[in-house]
Amino acid sequence: MRQDREVPELPAGIESFKKGELLAAAPGLHPDTVPRLLRRLGLAASGRGKARRYPRAVVETLQAHARKGMGVSTSNGYLAAAKQFTSWLSRGKRRRIPFDPLSGLKRLSDKADRRVRRRALTAELFAVLLIAAAAGRALKGLTGADRALLYHLAARTGLRAHEIATLTPASFDFEAPSVAVVAASAKNRSEAVLPLRADLAAALRRYCEGRPRSRPLFPGDWWKDAAELVMVDLEAAGIPYVDDAGEVFDFHALRHQFLSDLAAAGVHPADAQKLARHSSITLTMDVYTHVRLSNLQAAVDKLPPIGQSSPHSATRKQA
């Protein structure tokens, strides 16, 4: 499944394709994902409805996307699920098979095959995004103000889209202040209580006023298309979804924003790992933490100045 797929050659001399022709040229591409891919990849088509046409260059780009086999990260997920099953079959007093046939299989490293590379925004750009979101139209049942608070919450807690979708006013303790994620909603299936900044807690307290304590704070199925919400607000803010380095900023990038901002604030990596609820410090630091040149400059600026009376110059004078 990780092997690249075969795709047909495009007929020579044709520079514009119908949607059916596009799908035939890129087998495995679902019709509903085409508009989303166009937005994510910065591609454009012309016309509407049956008159819609896709330029040859667009079809070739989507072909390249469809050609790629399953990514290593996805493959590792399949492997983990399969190993859980075979492990269950082979253990206990009532084992169903004599041994686990997958026990020797190991996860592969996805460092060289990371399909989506995310980035964090500067503080100034992130503020521009929140302003644009707050002024935006309603999307997926969420007003612009809803989305601005949603992004603020994700970028200051590291909560994932589905985790936020399960939160209710009862999830918050505004005296602590903190937010609790139940085990069933967390990715690692462990209950977590995360601290809240005072300004975020105040905004959430106001937002929760008058809302039923047991109903979702951000109702609906928006979390299934959370990346699309961010793309609309990025466009309104004038921020590219994909930057010049090929890195994207989607909803999950808000988790990267959280950890990168923690690093920029000088938070100890072990504390950042606990806040992220990661099992590995390597995952926290190597994947989710993005160090900007300005951060490195600030680190270098903390070094003491080397004056004329440094040990080296003193040694030269004695010589």
pLDDT at 296: 64
Q: Find out whether 146 and 255 touch, Cβ atoms under 8 Å.
A: no
169 and 260 within one domain = yes
Pairing outcome for strands 172-173 and 178-181: antiparallel
* Sequential DSSP letters for 172-235: EETTTTEEEE-TTTSTTS--EEEE--HHHHHHHHHHHTTS-TTS-SS-SSGGGGHHHHHHHHHH
pLDDT at 225: 87
Domain range spanning residue 47?
16-67
pLDDT at 2: 87
142 and 55 within one domain = no
- Whether residue 177 is preceded by a cis peptide bond, meaning omega within 30 degrees of 0, is yes
97 part of a folded domain: no
136 and 231 within one domain = yes
6 part of a folded domain: no
284 and 188 within one domain = yes
More confident residue, 230 or 38: 230
Q: Which two tokens stand for residue 160?
A: 């994932």
Mean of per-residue pLDDT scores for the chain: 88
208 and 61 within one domain = no
pLDDT at 292: 66
Number of domains in the chain: 2
91 part of a folded domain: no
pLDDT at 294: 63
Report residue 280's pLDDT band, with 50, 70 and 90 as the boundaries.
confident
Question: Span 185-201, mean pLDDT?
Answer: 84
pLDDT at 300: 73
pLDDT surpasses 90 at 14: yes
180 part of a folded domain: yes
Report residue 257's pLDDT band, with 50, 70 and 90 as the boundaries.
very high
- Select from 26, 47, 67 the last residue of a domain: 67
Report the percent of the chain where pLDDT is more than 90. 60
258 and 129 within one domain = yes
59 and 204 within one domain = no
| pLDDT per residue as tens digits for the range 40-77 | 777 889 999 889 999 999 999 999 888 888 888 889 88
Question: Span 209-226, mean pLDDT?
Answer: 94
The answer for residues whose C-beta is within 8 angstroms of residue 268's C-beta and 6 or more apart is none
Report residue 295's pLDDT band, with 50, 70 and 90 as the boundaries.
low
263 and 148 within one domain = yes
pLDDT surpasses 80 at 309: no
What CATH number is given to the structural domain containing 176?
1.10.443.10
Question: Span 32-38, mean pLDDT?
Answer: 86
166 and 284 within one domain = yes
203 part of a folded domain: yes
pLDDT surpasses 70 at 308: no
164 part of a folded domain: yes
86 part of a folded domain: no
Strand segments (E) across 103-177: 172-173
